[in-house]
A and B are shown apart, each in its own frame.
Chain A
């Protein structure tokens, strides 16, 4: 099969995307596919795909354009098959403002939150609402951009006085900020592949510095991972159930990941879904696949087959 890996792009996750793409390209080549990487920041995507047509586009872009439905809509228009989630569901999942609502409506447990829109602050004088946000959500809370990945722009706020700065930082990445209740507990990643989606073993994330930030994600050795996660069977089952319901509610297809926290009372809380999970050497989906006994090539093969039939 002729497979163009779309990777790179113009987001802060550009490097992460290219690193993952390099691994995917090697894996796909080992499966006998004719594989090459296209970086839309380097070459015009549509023209390049017309010059060298692909049977399938492997979407390895992260962040805006790659995960918000933009590239998916373009490929829909060009009638080129692609891996992962359809455009509308990408848009929904990538935007935490929308996704959190969808999760709640589907009765998937997700930490309480409020939204602070940049435009509301600028144009409607919503600044006074910040104190309301603290009253509603409590402290400590987590402030994150509505549309970003890799924990970029995310801050844990302990004191009310620090909220404004954290909101400004989050708005540097996105046009809205989520102020979310902080749930303490065990961080879990639930990776899923195939059609219909099947969960891989849950991965437990234990950052050595306590916070799973950008450095903890992409510095080899900065975080300890356990797969399967060291959870009681009933807790693992509840986390898996919440993950599957989240994947279903968000409409994620062929490959995806759900990030959760299991609190001290063993209640799982879904933080977010990801339509383009990382595939670097420190990424969670390849780790979950390895725990299931799958090599990276076998993982890629499963995703291709699911994409074909999606």
Chain B
């Protein structure tokens, strides 16, 4: 008689690895990535819109002119040339910054991990939007915090709920928010809420981590002020070029006070020594050509706006009776709420069978909520595919409604 040890290290893993398990939803996504399935699931940027020749020219010139640097290690903070470009990008959203206060990271995702590493001890309370970006929940989750979910509405995080939590005695280590066209809900925090949040957190000495991947993907209306520009001292700001240029270059950054920056650089160096000089130089050159990056970004925004419109029109046509959804003014995502008897996780298999996929809502909550919600991404499929996908989803939900009624619901 022998006990079969499938994983000989199973008793050696840290407690933080406990949540890293196989899931049914991942299994379904393996099918959802098939070309015949309209995937409204993944938030993949529309990189086909990038001008291939110009990107190739930029990459070639980097290797031809700076090959020695591009193929070498770099500094942990990231090259000064790139940081200056990132400062310029932030100025587009009225953020004043000094390149010395910027740390380049491997995508903003690494910045999330480094912030978690610096700030979170096991059991610390982290306030997050509910729903929140799943990548932040997993990045912070590795440091074993307790999440304090703060609900959202069409004006973003309901700051009054955070205020009530503070009155109850909660003391979050920081507040994490995606205030512009958030992932997954697509909503934007109102100017009033921003001011309230900033004042509340300053008063309580709670830092804010502002994650702003989508701010420059604005389809209409004026921008609300960034939290960082409202209170530079108390806001750690995270940015990325994944949505304005390319996720493949893995260039993100954190902007913070010098004291935080110094620790972030040390944490970054212990994580991966430095970001890729090659892709940092490509990114720097890309954003040095004003007409090129602005023209490309304008094209991306136009494409995303049309796709958003296609999705909202299709939802109106196919789901009007059964669901409510957000109306994002930018970004990648629409957040759909269906009747509370419908379990979107259980429904995903049938959706994939009908060749449409989405992300079930529970992924975006730390506490199991969201069973009757789903995230739909309009960034990647064409307008026609979006219309087809939403139509398939609509017919599925109609059929489920019939089924539910037949079950006495």
Q: Which of A164, A171, A220, A281 contacts B408 (CB 8 A)?
A: A164
A13-29: CB near B (< 8 Å → 1, else 0) gives 11110000000000000
Q: Does B403 lie within 8 Å of A118, measured CB to CB?
A: yes
Q: Does A11 lie within 8 Å of B31, measured CB to CB?
A: yes
Q: Does A14 lie within 8 Å of B1, measured CB to CB?
A: no
Q: Does B24 lie within 8 Å of A12, measured CB to CB?
A: yes
Q: Name the residue on B nearest A123 (C-beta).
A: B406
Q: Name the residue on B nearest A290 (C-beta).
A: B4
Q: Does A12 lie within 8 Å of B28, measured CB to CB?
A: yes
| B290 adjacent to chain A (CB < 8 Å) | no
B381-409: CB near A (< 8 Å → 1, else 0) gives 00000000000000000011011111111
Residues of chain B in range 1-25 having any CB-CB distance to chain A below 8 Å: 1-4, 6-7, 9-10, 13, 20-24
How many of chain B's residues touch chain A, expressed as a range? 35 or more
Q: How far is the CA of A127 from the CA of B409 in the complex (A)?
A: 9
| A134 adjacent to chain B (CB < 8 Å) | no
Query: Which residues of chain A are within 8 angstroms of B405 by Cβ–Cβ distance?
Result: 127
Q: How far is the CA of A274 from the CA of B405 in the complex (A)?
A: 34
Q: Does A219 lie within 8 Å of B22, measured CB to CB?
A: yes
| A137 adjacent to chain B (CB < 8 Å) | no
Q: How far is the CA of A164 from the CA of B7 in the complex (A)?
A: 38
Q: Which of A121, A127, A150, A291 contacts B27 (CB 8 A)?
A: A150
Query: Which residues of chain A are within 8 angstroms of B352 by Cβ–Cβ distance?
Result: 12
Residues of chain A in range 169-221 having any CB-CB distance to chain B below 8 Å: 169, 171-173, 203, 214-215, 217-221
Q: Does A226 lie within 8 Å of B4, measured CB to CB?
A: yes
Q: Does B349 lie within 8 Å of A153, measured CB to CB?
A: yes
Query: Which residues of chain B are within 8 angstroms of A203 by Cβ–Cβ distance?
Result: 4
| B294 adjacent to chain A (CB < 8 Å) | no
Q: How far is the CA of A210 from the CA of B400 in the complex (A)?
A: 31
Interface pick from B137-145, B237-245, B313-321, B339-347: B339-347
| B34 adjacent to chain A (CB < 8 Å) | yes
Query: Which residues of chain A are within 8 angstroms of B343 by Cβ–Cβ distance?
Result: 165, 168-169
| A73 adjacent to chain B (CB < 8 Å) | no
Q: Does B407 lie within 8 Å of A282, measured CB to CB?
A: no
Q: Does B350 lie within 8 Å of A10, measured CB to CB?
A: no
Q: Which of B31, B348, B406 contacts A122 (CB 8 A)?
A: B406
Q: Does A225 lie within 8 Å of B6, measured CB to CB?
A: yes
Q: How far is the CA of A307 from the CA of B407 in the complex (A)?
A: 46
Q: Does B2 lie within 8 Å of A227, measured CB to CB?
A: yes
A208-246: CB near B (< 8 Å → 1, else 0) gives 000000110111111111111010000000000000000
Taking A152-B349, A225-B3, A226-B2 as contacts, is the C-beta distance between A12 and B30 under 8 angstroms? yes
CB distance from A122 to the nearest CB of B (A): 6
Q: Name the residue on A nearest B36 (C-beta).
A: A10
Q: How far is the CA of A256 from the CA of B352 in the complex (A)?
A: 28
CB distance from B21 to the nearest CB of A (A): 4
Q: Does A121 lie within 8 Å of B24, measured CB to CB?
A: no
Q: Does B406 lie within 8 Å of A167, measured CB to CB?
A: no
CB distance from A216 to the nearest CB of B (A): 8
A256-282: CB near B (< 8 Å → 1, else 0) gives 000000000000000000000000011
Q: How far is the CA of A141 from the CA of B346 in the complex (A)?
A: 18
Q: Does A222 lie within 8 Å of B21, measured CB to CB?
A: yes
Q: How far is the CA of A287 from the CA of B346 in the complex (A)?
A: 31
Query: Which residues of chain A are within 8 angstroms of B1 by Cβ–Cβ distance?
Result: 226-228, 230
Q: How far is the CA of A169 from the CA of B404 in the complex (A)?
A: 11
Q: How far is the CA of A222 from the CA of B18 in the complex (A)?
A: 9
Query: Which residues of chain B are within 8 angstroms of A218 by Cβ–Cβ distance?
Result: 22
In this complex, the member of B13, B27, B352 whose beta carbon has the largest number of chain A beta carbons within 10 angstroms is: B27
Query: Which residues of chain B are within 8 angstroms of A215 by Cβ–Cβ distance?
Result: 21-24
Q: Name the residue on B nearest A213 (C-beta).
A: B24
Residues of chain A in range 8-55 having any CB-CB distance to chain B below 8 Å: 10-16, 41
Residues of chain B in range 226-259 having any CB-CB distance to chain A below 8 Å: none
CB distance from B238 to the nearest CB of A (A): 31
Q: How far is the CA of A11 from the CA of B24 in the complex (A)?
A: 12
Query: Which residues of chain A are within 8 angstroms of B407 by Cβ–Cβ distance?
Result: 121, 127, 130, 164, 167-168
Q: Does A220 lie within 8 Å of B4, measured CB to CB?
A: no
Q: Name the residue on A nearest B409 (C-beta).
A: A164
Taking A10-B34, A164-B404 as contacts, is the C-beta distance between A172 and B27 under 8 angstroms? no
Q: Name the residue on B nearest A228 (C-beta).
A: B1
Query: Which residues of chain A are within 8 angstroms of B399 by Cβ–Cβ distance?
Result: 122
| A77 adjacent to chain B (CB < 8 Å) | no
In this complex, the member of B346, B408, B409 whose beta carbon has the largest number of chain A beta carbons within 10 angstroms is: B346
Residues of chain B in range 34-73 having any CB-CB distance to chain A below 8 Å: 34, 36
Q: How far is the CA of A167 from the CA of B343 in the complex (A)?
A: 12
Query: Which residues of chain B are within 8 angstroms of A219 by Cβ–Cβ distance?
Result: 20-22
| A1 adjacent to chain B (CB < 8 Å) | no
Q: How far is the CA of A226 from the CA of B333 in the complex (A)?
A: 47
Q: Name the residue on A nearest B355 (C-beta).
A: A10
Q: How far is the CA of A122 from the CA of B402 in the complex (A)?
A: 7
Q: Name the residue on B nearest A217 (C-beta).
A: B22
In this complex, the member of A168, A173, A226 whose beta carbon has the largest number of chain B beta carbons within 10 angstroms is: A168
Q: Does A41 lie within 8 Å of B21, measured CB to CB?
A: no
Q: How far is the CA of A126 from the CA of B400 in the complex (A)?
A: 15
CB distance from A99 to the nearest CB of B (A): 21
Q: Name the residue on B nearest A172 (C-beta).
A: B350
Q: Does A173 lie within 8 Å of B349, measured CB to CB?
A: yes
Q: Does B400 lie within 8 Å of A168, measured CB to CB?
A: yes
Taking A165-B341, A215-B22 as contacts, is the C-beta distance between A15 and B30 under 8 angstroms? yes
Taking A12-B30, A214-B22 as contacts, is the C-beta distance between A168 and B404 under 8 angstroms? yes
Query: Which residues of chain B are within 8 angstroms of A172 by Cβ–Cβ distance?
Result: 346-350
Q: How far is the CA of A186 from the CA of B343 in the complex (A)?
A: 31
Q: A214-B23, A217-B22, A220-B7 are in contact. List 4 more A-B contacts (CB 8 A).
A: A12-B30, A118-B403, A223-B6, A227-B2
Binding site for A on B (CB under 8 A): 1-4, 6-7, 9-10, 13, 20-24, 26-28, 30-31, 34, 36, 341, 343, 346-350, 352, 399-400, 402-409
17 residue pairs from A and B, CB less than 8 Å apart = A11-B31, A12-B24, A12-B352, A15-B27, A16-B27, A167-B407, A168-B400, A172-B346, A173-B349, A173-B350, A214-B23, A215-B24, A220-B10, A224-B3, A226-B1, A230-B1, A290-B4
Closest 4 CB pairs of A and B: A221-B10, A169-B346, A220-B7, A221-B7
